[in-house]
Amino acid sequence: MQFRPMLEADLGQVVEIEKASMPSPWSKELFDEELKRGAAHYFVAEESGRVAGYMGYWEAPEEAHIINLAVAPEFRQKGVGQKMMEYCLDFAAKRGARIATLEVRQSNEAAQRLYGKCDFRVVAIRKKYYSDNQEDAIVMIKEIP
DSSP for the chain, written as a single string: -EEEE--GGGHHHHHHHHHHH-SSPPPHHHHHHHHH-TTEEEEEEEETTEEEEEEEEEEETTEEEEEEEEE-GGGTTTTHHHHHHHHHHHHHHHTT--EEEEEEETT-HHHHHHHHHTT-EEEEEETT--TTT---EEEEEEE--
Which residues belong to the active site? Answer: 103, 115
